């Protein structure tokens, strides 16, 4: 990961040129997504706002100060507020006071988009309840980053579970419940618990899981395998248990009698074009649309050769 300030010297100027003319109202909380590893992933508008605001609330002031300095933003320590899971309710009141005085305040967690699995949700709720505006600045997220590389999200969408319980019994119960979930499931895990999570996921057998380790960083690794193989994959290389993890448990097609879907499809094909027949057959029977489409093409091909 590139981190020297000189490497990003032109970024702040570019951010001011690209985003400086936009409106940034006072008395507003700006929820700023920051890079999940690679500093070059920050948005120009996010960078401009971090330079513009009167104060920055953040999960870890030391971490955020390093980010700001990498881009040449000089932020005095008294303009940074630590706001994390242990003091979020109290610190939110200080933020509300600043907003009421007409100041602009940014909030950034250590990495990614705040208020999802990181702190920030209580802050946002309190600010809205106090009648102040919240303006989100989109950017990096380990959730969508891994989903885009997993190829697992089909028509049913996905479910975000985040961190499962730390206690073995509760974690195993959560995994057992996911076995009945046909949609893709996104999980997050810390390095000291990834091996325990792998052991719990093993009960899902051949169901595929995509694991993303150190996403966007120099030693990024993304691999897809059956859940039963994840523990062995981690054990094969000591480096694989290091870093932050995101995982996607792949979705599974809901079981549907193939003959029932194809029977309805054949009836519809006699009266309707292929796409319409496939769409209606899938909605009626719940059979996978791709499988029905292939069956429709084979049926049409057979009709033409007979």
Taking all residues of the chain, what is their mean pLDDT, rounded to a whole number? 91
Give the model confidence (pLDDT) of 231-256 as tens digits: 999 999 999 999 999 999 999 865 54
pLDDT score, position 256: 47
CA distance 55 to 26: 12
Helix 258-269 vs helix 289-305: angle between axes, to the nearest 10 degrees?
50
pLDDT of 291 above 90:
no
Question: Under DSSP, is residue 78 helix (H, G, I), strand (E, B) or coil?
Answer: helix
Beta bridge partners of 108: 58
Question: Sheet containing 208-213: which strands, arranged edge to edge?
Answer: 158-162, 184-189, 245-249, 208-213, 221-226
Q: Are 288 and 251 in contact (CB under 8 A)?
A: no
- Residues 98 and 106: their CA atoms lie apart, in Å, by 11
What is the C-alpha to C-alpha distance for residues 245 and 119, in angstroms, rounded to an integer?
18
Helix (H) or strand (E) holding 161: strand 158-162
CB 82 within 8 Å of CB 60: yes
pLDDT in tens, 35-92: 999 999 999 999 999 999 999 999 999 999 999 999 999 899 999 999 999 999 999 9
Q: In which band, very low, low, confident or very high, does the pLDDT at 303 lie, cut at 50, 70 and 90?
A: low
What is the phi-psi region of residue 44: left when phi exceeds 0, alpha when psi lies from -120 to 50, beta otherwise?
Answer: alpha
Q: What is the pLDDT of residues 135-188, one digit of tens each?
A: 999 999 999 999 999 998 876 789 999 999 999 999 999 999 998 899 999 999
**Is residue 119 classed as helix, strand or coil in its secondary structure?**
coil
**Is residue 30's pLDDT more than 70?**
yes
Which of residues 40 and 281 earns the better pLDDT score?
40
Instruction: Tell me the CA distances in angstroms from 93 to 72, 88, 105, 123, 304, one per residue in order.
Output: 29, 9, 13, 8, 73
What is the pLDDT at residue 239? 93
Q: Which of 3-7, 67-71, 246-250, 283-287 has the lowest mean pLDDT?
A: 3-7
């Amino acid at each position: 990961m590139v981190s020297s300030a000189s490497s990003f010297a032109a970024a702040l100027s570019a951010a001011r040129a690209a985003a400086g003319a936009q409106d940034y109202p006072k008395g507003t909380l700006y929820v700023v997504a920051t890079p999940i590893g690679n500093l070059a992933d920050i948005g120009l508008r996010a960078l401009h706002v971090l330079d513009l605001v009167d104060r920055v609330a953040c999960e870890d002031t030391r971490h955020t100060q390093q980010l700001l300095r990498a881009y040449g933003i000089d932020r005095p320590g008294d303009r940074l507020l630590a706001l994390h899971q242990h003091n979020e309710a109290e610190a939110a009141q200080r933020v509300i006071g600043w907003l009421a005085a007409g100041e602009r305040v940014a909030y950034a967690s250590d990495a990614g988009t705040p208020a999802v699995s990181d702190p920030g949700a209580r802050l946002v709720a309190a600010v809205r309840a106090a009648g102040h505006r919240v303006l989100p600045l989109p950017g990096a997220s380990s959730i969508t980053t891994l989903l885009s590389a997993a190829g697992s999200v089909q028509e049913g969408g996905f479910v975000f579970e985040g961190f499962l319980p730390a206690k073995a019994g509760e974690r195993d119960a959560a995994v057992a419940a996911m076995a009945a979930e046909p949609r893709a499931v996104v999980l997050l895990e810390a390095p000291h618990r990834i091996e325990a999570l792998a052991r719990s996921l093993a009960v899902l057998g051949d169901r595929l899981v995509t694991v993303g380790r150190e996403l966007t960083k120099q030693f990024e690794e993304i691999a897809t395998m059956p859940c039963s193989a994840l523990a062995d994959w981690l054990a094969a290389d000591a480096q694989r248990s290091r870093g932050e993890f995101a995982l996607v448990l792949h979705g599974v097609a809901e079981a549907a009698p193939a003959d029932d879907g194809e029977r309805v499809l054949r009836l519809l094909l006699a009266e309707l074009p292929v796409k319409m027949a496939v769409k209606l057959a899938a909605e009626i029977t719940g059979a996978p649309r791709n499988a029905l489409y292939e069956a429709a093409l084979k049926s049409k091909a057979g009709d033409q050769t007979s």
